Amino acid sequence: MTLLILGGTVFLGRHLVEAAFAHGHRVTLFNRGQHNPDLFPDVEKLRGDRHGGLDALGDRRWDAVIDTCGYVPRLVRASAERLAGATDHYTFISSISVYTGPATDESAPVGRLADAAVEQINGETYGPLKALCEAAAEHAMPGLVLNVRAGLIVGPYDPTDRFTYWPARVARGGEILAPGRPGRRVQFIDVRDLAEWIVRAAGRRVVGTFNVTGPQAPLTMAQVLDACARATDHAARYTWVDDDFLLGAAVTPWTQLPLWIPETHTAAAVVSSVSSDRAITTGLTYRPLSSTISATLEWHATRPAGLSWRAGLTPAREQELLEAWRESRASNQPGASREPA
């Protein structure tokens, strides 16, 4: 199969290239060359910009196209329209953030924008814009589009640190602030499993909309941390801190404490109760969590010392919160004095 990837050098994109290679496909990349331009030296690269710079695509034809970097409907529409006569299959990488609540299947309601012309991407518009991007691709190439509503993507080369923080934190040892309830459900998917399923689905011309997250069986935050401890051979000590305290301490969900969203927040249901049954019936498989953790740690070990983390608590902030949590617990014990000393 000849495969055009829009993007292809950052996180999911680079794993898509590797998965395509593993299946013997020929890959062309279209991007601006601003991220990892020397990656995959033997792959054909077309330099261009989705903002009016699609001419580099020329009159070429590919068996399938994977769009990894579409966030604005106008630009997705332009790319899909330009490629409508150049391919028989278009995969658009979307997100479970399109949903407004639990997604027991792909028919669950998606977010809408009051003004469909909005192009500013933020926490409120990201999901609805992705939903509009899906529609834009389908409008340009009706019946030929695979919309992949991916969950949190984790694993090697993740630039967000939204999962890497936990294996690295457990490996550092000591007392660890663990957010919320131990039994709180979490969902995410190894980038390699996602890339493998996408490449195989493109090769089989699978179309329609699919939730693609994991794991296959329910997973709790406690199980994630215990798996990190086993992978790092550390006897971890967790202090579980409840949602209300963390919110009262102005801890930012999802970023300052990855994988954590207060259970009373609507977004908690979106990121923890998505069904991927439809994708599983079409061949989605999952590697063990231990493999994801080990591979993430191996990659993390190659990163520069003293890097600036994009997610997670600093050691000082974590210690500050743990001390404040202990003080709050002590002051709430029966018989504790509530008068100033």
Q: At residue 9, what is the residue type?
A: T
> For the segment 104-156, what is each residue's pLDDT rounded down to a tens digit?
899 999 999 999 889 999 999 999 999 999 999 999 999 999 999 999 999 99
More confident residue, 340 or 131: 131
Decide if pLDDT at 335 tops 60.
Answer: no
Q: Could you give the angle at the alpha carbon of 281 between the alpha carbons of 280 and 283, nearest 5°?
A: 65
Share of the chain above pLDDT 90, in %: 90
Taking only the tens place, the pLDDT of each residue in 165-193 is: 999 999 999 999 999 999 999 999 999 99
Residue 334: predicted pLDDT: 63
**Mean of the per-residue pLDDT values of the chain:** 94
How high is the pLDDT of residue 236?
82
pLDDT by residue (tens digit) across 249-286?
999 999 999 999 999 998 998 999 999 999 999 999 99
* Residue 331, number of CB atoms within 10 A of its CB: 10
Burial label for 62, CB within 10 Å (0-12, 13-18, 19+), is buried
For the record, the structure tokens of 282 come out as 């079409």
H or E stretch at 243: helix 243-248
Confidence of residue 327 (pLDDT cuts 50, 70, 90): very high
pLDDT at 234: 76
Structural domains of the chain in order of their starting residue, each with its CATH number = 2-150 (3.40.50.720), 165-186+217-271+288-329 (3.90.25)
Report pTM.
Answer: 0.95
45-83 per-position pLDDT tens digit: 999 999 889 999 999 999 999 999 999 999 999 999 999
Q: Which long-range contacts (CB under 8 A, 24 or more apart) does 224-227 make?
A: 224/166, 224/186, 224/259, 224/289, 225/166, 225/170, 225/176, 225/178, 227/289, 227/290, 227/293
Identify any residues that bridge with 114 across adjacent strands, giving them in sequence order: none
3-state secondary structure of 215: coil
User: So what's the pLDDT on residue 269?
Assistant: 86
Q: Summarize pLDDT for 186-203 with one digit per residue, the tens.
A: 999 999 999 999 999 999
Q: What is the pLDDT of residue 340?
A: 33
